[in-house]
Structure 1
Amino acid sequence: MTTPFSRLPLLSPGSWPEARRITTILRKETVGGILLLLAAALALIWANTPWSEAYHSLREVTVGPAALHLDLPLSVWAADGLLAVFFFVVGLELKREFVAGDLRDPHRAALPIMAAIGGMAVPALVFVLINWRTGDGALNGWAIPTATDIAFAVAILAVVSSHLPLALRTFLLTLAVVDDLLAVTVIAVFYTDDLNFTYLALALLPLAAFGFAAQKRIRSWWILIPLAAVTWWLVHESGVHATVAGVLLGFTVPVVRSAAAGGPEAGPGLAEHFEHRIRPFSAGVAVPVFAFFAAGVTVGGLSGFLDTLGDPVALGIVAGLVIGKVVGITGASYLTAKFTKARLDDGLTWLDVAAVALLGGIGFTVSLLIGELAFAGDPLRSDHVKIGVLAGTIIAAVLAAIALRIRNRAHRVLAERETRDDDHDGIPDIYQHP
């Protein structure tokens, strides 16, 4: 018996417009990922020099209006404020994927969604199994190894110079976007204390006004930014982590033009315009600044590093990122293929999927954010979380690079196939169907 999936190869190249869009996004994410790496390295080096006290003092510098309860340390501004911009872009990207992207087709959407779910469930299970008897609130960190940092992962791809096929890059990007949505849902549900429903209800007013303005294609910054800022402040005051406001604001922006605005043939919606404008700031400023304030941890030499990994929390994070991610993503993808009787696209193997799953273990930005929320008020365990995230990310990146190198020759052949343009019309032949 055949199914619609059996006629659709898994991880096929997709459409040419989507391929161009993904290529542009990945190019920007590569630059942002390199800046992220540099910012994290700078923080880690500074925190392990004789001047480490200056770094920690800088993190605690307080700015902002006290009357609005916004007299916050710079490290909190980076986590709550700048990452809200990052999650706004995530909201835009996710909505675009499911409204106008190739993933509006349920057949294409199934694999990355199932892979993201598997890539979240298994690492969480691994962490819980390791910390089941740890006590002292250790299980609060169950969600730390569930996140994937697409900018960091793409930067690693750029460093190892892999000829990873665009279909796999698209899979990684989409998986990471769905992963981010699941992560922000976890943050909102499991890491929200003392919820204030009054502020949360009030946040709906500027959110609705922002959405109305966006639907009317209003681009005036002096209208949109104040509405977004008020929404962010009210969500922040409600007890829900303020980054949730970013995703909600992104969801309100139209992806395609309405008939009243000229119809789809008149051009893309406001989401693409915002994404082009804001993604460079998000990838080049917001995320690297957060990484700078979040990654700095005093390791204490090799002995201190080994002692830290003796903490089951740090060990659970490393195992979740390195083992849980590859088992969860690859296993969910394999089961999806078996259940639907679909097959991998020509030239791809399950080793390729496993290599991408290892890249999924690069869980830097959101993992650090969840770690700060899970162990707020416990500086020692927070430091252990940072070292666990850094160690797990580095191990996953190295293993992914090795796996990709093993398949590099086959990847080169696929890359040549994807870029071949025998009729010189500017569209690779693989995207043209007779």
Structure 2
Amino acid sequence: MSKTTPPSPQRSTIFGRGSYAESLRIGEILRKETVGGALLVAAAVIALIWANSPASDSYFALRDLKVGYEPWHLELSLGAWAADGLLAIFFFLVGLELKREFVAGDLRQLNKSIVPVAAAAGGVIVPALIYVVINLASPETLRGWAIPTATDIAFAVAVLAIIGSHLPSALRIFLLTLAVVDDLIAITIIAFFYTSDLQVTPLLLALVPLALYAFLAHKFRYFFGLKAPAAWLILLPIGVVTWALVHASGIHATVAGVLLGFAVPVLRSQAAGGPDAGPGLAEIFEHRFRPISAGIAVPIFAFFSAGVAVGGWEGLGSALVDPVALGIIAGLVLGKPIGIMGTTWLLTKMSRAELDKSFKWIDVFGVALLAGIGFTVSLLVAELSFGQGSLHDDHAKVGILAASLLAALLATLVLRTRNRHYRAEEEAERVDADQDGIPDVYQDRT
């Protein structure tokens, strides 16, 4: 009597399709970020041209113009207002998006969140190590080790739009999650490693409006009604007070943005779109503030931060051979793909998982190259590391711009070769044979 061989257990896959609702939500976010990315690039180009034109003095005079109320420690230059104030809106959305992903999104499932989160960590650690190795002989420049750790999602999706890439939703979600997680890691680094002259009293006082903000945010339906379209008008002043106190404490004020984002409640029933759920506060805030972040805050920050007087070809050459610029370029262009690819590959081997049949490792490599576009947060960390307008800061900006451009070009070369395959996958994701409003590929899990 012959024995029947038991079927081998099915291997888990990574980069498989998530839910259709999640795909739609991420797609909407990335469409807004595409517009924001175009504005960001335009603002950076204008700043570079102005800073290297005969009228360059007017650019730096504008950037360094101080406004605000000094007794509250708020007499800041316009460049500092952009970095400390406007970027707090960007980081508020980072905190909000990450919380939504892990509470109501597909990433609340460990098997779906572990890969992008671990890959993001690898994409932070390896670039930082590469920068440290290159700058090991120069202690004064080691402070910039965190510059090549972040991914600029707006810049990255703008590149995808420019090259006409039909990157499938699974890879777009992976890219967005990577960017959000390493932005969170970057803001944590800023809070712990770039805080000087900590003032305990304002920091403790900041906990009072933060707690009030969190309480009202979680009870907003009780206080402001079922749909609460104007709840943000009540909570916004409390958030501003929290931001001002965190700023006075010596901790970079963008940290307040993340904390406020985490304080906003996210309910799974609201994310699922139940008939009586109405828009949740997370949805209200995301709708109100993402256009402000993508269309105003980040482009203005890029305008004030990207302007660097290169000094002609000779100045550009001297900047590019500076260990600061070399460490940044190597970290973003080499370290990012090595860290992301290496971590993802290692996880597949350790868990005996395999790539979804729709993808190949070259696809992961293309996304990892795209993640080497580190612009907004990298510029912020460069200023915190060396001080705005210093020689090392200028060289760091040259390195960031050069690395982001090089990463965009390399990612374009890789992803364009796979565009025909991506287009076929995109068309498959649109097929709805039973006409129930949900594409068939999101229903067929066999």
TM-score by length of 2: 0.93
| Structure 1 residue identity aligned to 2:432 | D
Is 1:183 the counterpart of 2:186? The answer is yes
Residue equivalent to 1:71: 75
Q: Matches of 2:388 and 2:438 in 1, distance apart?
A: 55
How far 1:380 sits from its partner (Å)? 0.9
Is 1:113 the counterpart of 2:117? The answer is yes
Is 1:124 the counterpart of 2:128? The answer is yes
Judge conservation of contact 1:255–1:268 (CA < 8 Å) in 2. Answer: no
How far 1:267 sits from its partner (Å)? 3.6
Is 1:406 the counterpart of 2:408? The answer is no
Judge conservation of contact 1:258–1:264 (CA < 8 Å) in 2. Answer: no
Residue equivalent to 1:317: 328
Residue equivalent to 1:146: 149
How far 1:427 sits from its partner (Å)? 1.5
Residue equivalent to 2:227: none
Residue equivalent to 1:44: 48
Structure number with larger C-alpha Rg: 2
Q: Matches of 1:69 and 1:312 in 2, distance apart?
A: 35
Cα deviation digits, residues 312-369 of structure 1 (max 9, x gap): 0110000000000010011111111111111111121111101101111000000000
Q: Matches of 2:12 and 2:238 in 1, distance apart?
A: 44
Is 1:171 the counterpart of 2:197? The answer is no
Residue equivalent to 1:270: 281
How far 1:426 sits from its partner (Å)? 2.3
Cα deviation digits, residues 276-295 of structure 1 (max 9, x gap): 11100000000000000000
1:346-361 to structure 2, matched below 5 A, reads 346-361=357-372
Judge conservation of contact 2:103–2:268 (CA < 8 Å) in 1. Answer: no
Residue equivalent to 2:309: 298
Is 1:387 the counterpart of 2:391? The answer is no
Judge conservation of contact 2:18–2:106 (CA < 8 Å) in 1. Answer: yes
Q: Matches of 1:91 and 1:273 in 2, distance apart?
A: 15
Cα deviation digits, residues 151-179 of structure 1 (max 9, x gap): 00000000000111110000000111111
Alpha-carbon RMSD across the aligned residues, in angstroms, is: 2.0
Is 1:82 the counterpart of 2:106? The answer is no
Q: Matches of 1:345 and 1:39 in 2, distance apart?
A: 39
- Which of 94, 97, 100 pairs up with 2:98? 94
- Which of 237, 244, 249 pairs up with 2:248? 237
Give the 4+ runs in structure 1 shifted more than 4 A. 1-4, 262-265
Name whichever of 416-425 and 356-365 sits farther off: 416-425
Unaligned stretches of 5+ residues in structure 2: 1-5, 225-229
How far 1:429 sits from its partner (Å)? 0.9
How far 1:8 sits from its partner (Å)? 3.3
- Which of 215, 226, 234 pairs up with 1:223? 234
Unaligned stretches of 5+ residues in structure 1: none
Residue equivalent to 1:26: 30
| Matched length | 430
Q: What is the aligned-residue identity percentage?
A: 61
Judge conservation of contact 1:256–1:264 (CA < 8 Å) in 2. Answer: no
Q: Matches of 1:41 and 1:380 in 2, distance apart?
A: 20
Is 1:103 the counterpart of 2:107? The answer is yes
Cα deviation digits, residues 76-124 of structure 1 (max 9, x gap): 0000000000001111101000000000000000000110000000000
How far 1:298 sits from its partner (Å)? 1.0
| Structure 2 residue identity aligned to 1:409 | R
Judge conservation of contact 1:215–1:254 (CA < 8 Å) in 2. Answer: yes
